[in-house]
Amino acid sequence: MSRVEDKSIDKATQEMLRRAKDENITVSWDRLESQSPQCGFGQLGTCCTICNMGPCRIDPFGEGATVGVCGANADAIAARNLARKIAVGTAAHSDHGRDVAHTLAHIAHHQGNKTAGGGHSHDYEIIDTEKFKKLASEFGVDTSKPQGQIAAELSAKLLGEFGKQDGELELLRRAPKKRQEIWRNLGICPRGIDREVVELLHTTTMGVDNDYKNIIKNGMRCALADGWGGSMIATDVQDVILGSPRPIRGRVNLGVLKEKYVNVVVHGHEPVLSDMVVRASKDPELVKFAKSVGADGINLAGICCTANEVLMRHGIPIAGNFLQQELAIITGAVEVMIVDVQCIMPALHEVASCFHTKLVTTSSKARFPGVEHIEFSQEKAYEIAKQIIRLAVENFRNRKKERVNIPKHEMDLVAGFTKDVIFQMLGGRYRATYRPLSDAIISGRLRGLAGVVGCNNPKQTHDYYHTALVKELIKNDVLVLQTGCAAIACAKQGLLVPEAAKAYAGKGLQEICEAVGIPPVLHLGACVDNSRILTAASHIIEEGGLGEDLSDIPAAGCAPEWMSEKAIAIGFYFVASGVYTVFGASPFATLGSANLTEYLTKELEGVVGGRFEFCDDPLKMAELMIEHIDKKRKALKLKPWMYAR
């Protein structure tokens, strides 16, 4: 993969890769090359480093060791390794959810103080009061009480979900009745979010669970605690305290960085800080300061999921997805890159040191040696955000004009579709309902639904898998829902605008997009917002006509360019919710165990209604997903696809 065209289909990325090469700057693609060939045992999942009798490896050629020192075979080793990744992915999303719930608790605390006559103002407030009350009543909080009190009780209950020992997570009740029954019968209803993570880690330690099927069962319970727990809490509470997204136009790709402006890039995942940075970047005093140093103003842009969050809520442009984080710095035009947690490459520091760019870490959970750390605190959120923006403005002077090289490429997109908005778009504001969506599927105008989500991975041509797959799906009248870096990939290729329907979608999908003015590909938010897809699907079942369970819906999921442990957790909560899910790149390191692979890709469907598929060709992925959608249409005895070719 030495040609830039093989590394990425994105023109801006190609341009920056050429520049990186000219300037001798190492980026992830180069590091992949120096890591190749990667360890075969790791790829097959049969290397076990759990105890100090090891590391043990199972011989893939069948000639050598078939069990580790403790006697664990390939099935147990691969399953334990996989389960640990589920636990980590769940922990990442859920810890994010916990922080957001804490912010709600802070709001309650301050509102309580205010009504008591004392206290000081707080930077956050409850913005979506309707959703706030809805959520409170779901948790059994009396919504007639004063707002501060509801917030106090609700946040206590939300935080309680993490530490709960018994019973079931509250939000599982959003799932269709039949799905809840399936979980109960299998004994995989998560009890408390933290408990599931801890218990799964316990079961995978030396000498505990050796039955790969049982390990996967416990893994699914943990993943459900992510999708229907931690992630869902993160999404819902963010909507409450930062505002629910509405469809909004935005711009995407490195071209959104502006030559004459102080460029600040937010990168990471938790919008609680980046939302404040958005406010600070518009602070008249700071804008004036920026002008005083010779800039035209302050330009904020995002990378990764925090970009999706501030795009959805404020229309802040997106500079790029995961693999573009280093490239944004290589434009030479970024004054400050603010990072919090997750998907932040340790390499950023070195790339930043080639330019004037200041990398600023903000979370006590993610420190980088030698990098300036300005710790975020909910108490002084706005003040800290202003401090960082000020730092950026001050750094503008250090920018070397001759080293600025911003690719001209940028693209329009429409984002901000939530489960509530899909309602309103399709049914109209006054009769908000999923009926028209369900009817479209029932009549065959829409063939089905697909969720295409996930990361980037230098092992695959950047953005190609996402776009080729999505284009093929919409051509076949499958409405595509996207989140995370997958959404950014397709946005850059112009698939997230209403006009894309005419250019790429099949006739049925075109008719729907034109009637309601939506793009054929809907951007639902950050990767933590995959929970929105679960709730949307539950609403579809509630609406009736498409079966009684999530697994009945003619729908499929896919993460074509995945790399993170979080993607594994997401995959498992989708499969455990009955969704057929395709993973691209290399499979989850399970091939060293034929039994485990067989279980995940075949038998699991008989257990939870959903299963995995591993595939590395985007067109083949589309074919598999459509095949599954057609199978589900047939099972529901729906009319055939209206515009079948």
Partner 1 sequence: MDVRKIKKLYYDVKKCLGCRSCEIACALAHSQNRELIASVKAGTLALPRKKVCFAKGKSYPVSCRHCREPKCVDACMAAAITFDAEKGLVVHDDTRCVGCWMCVMACPYGAIRPNLKAKLPVRCDMCPDEEEPACVKGCPTKAVIWQEEKR
Alpha carbon 293 to its chain centroid, in Å, reads 37
- Nearest residue (CB) to partner 1, 439 versus 617: 617
Burial group, residue 323, by CB count within 10 angstroms (0-12, 13-18, 19+)? buried
- Nearest residue (CB) to partner 1, 57 versus 131: 57
- Nearest residue (CB) to partner 1, 42 versus 163: 42
- Nearest residue (CB) to partner 1, 572 versus 588: 588
* Residue 303 binds to partner 1 (criterion: CB under 8 A): no
Answer for which of 227, 587, 609, 610 binds partner 1 (CB under 8 A) is: 587
A 10 A CB-CB count for 114 gives: 14
- Nearest residue (CB) to partner 1, 227 versus 592: 592
Q: Are 448 and 418 in contact (CB under 8 A)?
A: no
Answer for which of 591, 596, 622, 625 binds partner 1 (CB under 8 A) is: 591
Burial group, residue 624, by CB count within 10 angstroms (0-12, 13-18, 19+)? middle
Residue list 60-99, contact with partner 1 (CB under 8 A): 60-61, 63
Q: Measuring CA to CA, which residue among 305, 323, 267 is closest to residue 32?
A: 323
| Stretch binding partner 1 (CB under 8 A), from 59-67, 172-180, 385-393, 637-645 | 59-67
| Stretch binding partner 1 (CB under 8 A), from 36-44, 358-366, 446-454, 466-474 | 36-44
* Residue 143 binds to partner 1 (criterion: CB under 8 A): no
| Stretch binding partner 1 (CB under 8 A), from 38-46, 217-225, 297-305, 373-381 | 38-46
* Dihedral-angle region of residue 547 (phi above 0 means left; psi in -120 to 50 means alpha; beta otherwise): left
**CB 613, min distance to partner 1, A:** 12
* Residue 41 binds to partner 1 (criterion: CB under 8 A): yes
- Nearest residue (CB) to partner 1, 39 versus 208: 39
Provide the Cα torsion 408, 409, 413, 416; round to 10°.
-80
**CB 351, min distance to partner 1, A:** 24
Answer for which of 2, 3, 24, 37 binds partner 1 (CB under 8 A) is: 37
**CB 278, min distance to partner 1, A:** 42
* Residue 426 binds to partner 1 (criterion: CB under 8 A): no
**CB 40, min distance to partner 1, A:** 3
**CB 616, min distance to partner 1, A:** 8
Strands (E), 310-401: 318-320, 334-339, 358-361, 372-373
325: tokens are 């984080």
**CB 63, min distance to partner 1, A:** 7
Q: Check residue 450 and report its DSSP letter.
A: E
The size of the interface with partner 1 (CB under 8 A), counted in residues, is 15
Rounded Cα distance between 347 and 476, Å, is: 40
3-state secondary structure 384-439: HHHHHHHHHHHHHHHCCHHHCCCCCCCEEEEECCCHHHHHHHHHCHHHCCCHHHHH
| Coil, helix or strand at residue 145 | coil
* Residue 39 binds to partner 1 (criterion: CB under 8 A): yes
**CB 618, min distance to partner 1, A:** 16
* Residue 402 binds to partner 1 (criterion: CB under 8 A): no
Answer for which of 9, 20, 44, 629 binds partner 1 (CB under 8 A) is: 44
Q: Are 413 and 521 in contact (CB under 8 A)?
A: no
- Nearest residue (CB) to partner 1, 449 versus 567: 567
- Where b means 16+ CB within 10 Å and e means fewer, 514-534 reads eebebbbbbbbbbbbbbbbbb
* Residue 57 binds to partner 1 (criterion: CB under 8 A): yes
* Residue 43 binds to partner 1 (criterion: CB under 8 A): yes
* Residue 52 binds to partner 1 (criterion: CB under 8 A): no
Q: What is the per-residue binding string for partner 1 in 528-567, x denoting contact by CB under 8 A?
A: ----------------------------------------
Q: Give CA angle at 288 (400, 243), nearest 5°.
A: 100
Unique residue bearing structure tokens 């979370």: 363
* Residue 611 binds to partner 1 (criterion: CB under 8 A): no
Rounded Cα distance between 267 and 322, Å, is: 9
Rounded Cα distance between 227 and 576, Å, is: 10
Q: Are 572 and 584 in contact (CB under 8 A)?
A: no
* Residue 255 binds to partner 1 (criterion: CB under 8 A): no
Answer for which of 196, 272, 586, 618 binds partner 1 (CB under 8 A) is: 586
- Nearest residue (CB) to partner 1, 343 versus 568: 568
**CB 37, min distance to partner 1, A:** 5
- Residue 554 neighbours by CB under 8 Å, 6+ apart: 441, 447, 448, 449, 546, 629, 630, 632, 633, 636, 638
**CB 591, min distance to partner 1, A:** 4
38: tokens are 């990667």
Alpha carbon 608 to its chain centroid, in Å, reads 23
Q: Measuring CA to CA, which residue among 516, 501, 513 is closest to residue 433?
A: 516
Answer for which of 616, 623, 636, 642 binds partner 1 (CB under 8 A) is: 616
- Nearest residue (CB) to partner 1, 61 versus 430: 61
**CB 95, min distance to partner 1, A:** 32
* Residue 618 binds to partner 1 (criterion: CB under 8 A): no
Q: Are 457 and 561 in contact (CB under 8 A)?
A: yes
Q: Which residues bind partner 1 (CB under 8 A)?
A: 37, 39-41, 43-44, 57, 60-61, 63, 586-587, 591-592, 616
